[in-house]
Amino acid sequence: MTLAILFGGSSYEHEISIVSAITLKKVLKRSSLLFIFVDSEREFYLIDGEKMTSKTFSSGDYKKGKKLTLEHGGFFAAGGLLGGRKPVAFDVLLNLIHGRDGEDGKIAGMMEFFGVPFIGPRIEASVLSYSKLNTKLLAHALGIKTLEYRLLQKGEERRVDLDFPLIVKPVHLGSSIGVSVVREASELDYALDVAFEFDEQVIVEPFVEGIVEYNLAGCKTSAWELSLVEEPQKEEFLDFDKKYRDFSRDSRVREAVIDAPLKEKLETAFKAIYDPLFLGSLIRCDFFVVESEVYLNEINPIPGSMANYLFEDFEGMLERLARALPKEKKIAIDYRYIHSIQSAKGKA
């Protein structure tokens, strides 16, 4: 299988995406890999595998790579026959752009519009998982619990009627960017100022001391393929620096020690979230457990380094997922309605 990894993007999580792509280069041993970089100006570049180092991107050397265009059927580079365009050949594309562009539906829409087979969340899944507010609404509709929350809009009254301590989160960002723990009222305004630097909407939730968190990833191919359950080791919460290191993990982690009933609850919640909304993608769900009750914290529609560290056969699973992608229904256009109107009016 030839896999094209699409990464970068115009996002606060641009660098995280680069780290994820470099990590997958180390992890994927059998597949033939192509790397397509999206810079901050949303230009596409084909990056040689030997140039997949952080310095290539921080120095701007990526611009020495072939510049690509996206058209019907895929990506094309200059230099084809008689000065024309040469297609970039691959079997399937992996959307590895974290945050805006990759997780908000832009890339999904472009891939579907231009007929490029891809692994990643489709448009509707992106819309619901990119927003922490929409994720909570989805969970409620599915009967899955979430923590209580308040939604604040930039420029409006900052009224929060929850008990301290609190956690403040931008609605449309991941990687813990702009997130703060607030222990008393005097700290709230500053935390909100930080969050509003990144987003127009902010969610405020209770910060539960010592809460137990579990991560579960997976997808559906011809059958369910679920990862081990991880209990992430953390201090207060996983801040940006910790998550940056987390995104570069490439070795399997230790499985959480939990009983069978709790594992079943986590897997049942994951399956309800995934199917059918996230078909064609590999996602990770982060759950809280409070008094044996499972709460959804967030959905990671494009997890860091694709959560490879949670799977025993990560590469094999990607290959199986690539063969099980949903196909958009072909709509036949025959102009029957227009022809009937024309005939009724006596026009050919």
- 258 with 195, same domain? no
pTM: 0.90
Same domain, 14 and 54: yes
Q: Do both 220 and 76 map to the same domain?
A: no
134 in a structural domain: yes
pLDDT, tens digit, for every residue of 275-326?
999 999 999 999 999 988 999 999 999 999 999 999 999 999 999 999 999 9
- Please check whether residues 141 and 172 belong to one and the same domain: no
Does the residue 221 lie in any domain? yes
Is residue 239's pLDDT more than 70?
A: no
Are 134 and 263 in the same domain?
yes
Number of folded domains in the chain?
Answer: 3
Domain boundary among 160, 191, 206: 206
In a domain, 342, yes or no: no
- Please state, in angstroms and rounded to a whole number, the distance separating the CA atoms of residues 338 and 130: 40
Paired sense of beta strands 2-8 and 32-38, if any: parallel
Instruction: Provide the CATH number for the domain around residue 91.
Output: 3.40.50.20
Residue 333 lies in a domain: no
183 and 255 belong to one structural domain: no
Same domain, 193 and 238: no
Bridge pairing between strands 224-226 and 74-78: unpaired
- The alpha-helical segments, DSSP class H, found in 131-223 are 132-141, 188-196
User: Does 248 lie in the same domain as 191?
Assistant: no
Residues 102 and 222 in one domain: no
* Same structural domain, 245 and 133: yes
Together in a domain, 196 and 230: no
Residue type, 32: S
Angle subtended at Cα 333 by Cα 328 and Cα 337, rounded to the nearest 5 degrees: 135
Summarize pLDDT for 166-206 with one digit per residue, the tens.
Answer: 999 999 987 788 899 999 999 999 999 999 999 999 999 99
Domain residues for 160?
150-206
Residue 142 has pLDDT above 70, yes or no: yes
- The whole-number pLDDT of residue 348 equals 54
At residue 102, the pLDDT reads: 96
What percent of the chain is modeled with pLDDT above 90?
83
Task: Convert the pLDDT of each residue in 107-131 to its tens digit.
Answer: 999 999 999 999 999 999 999 999 9
CATH code of the domain covering residue 171 = 3.30.1490.20
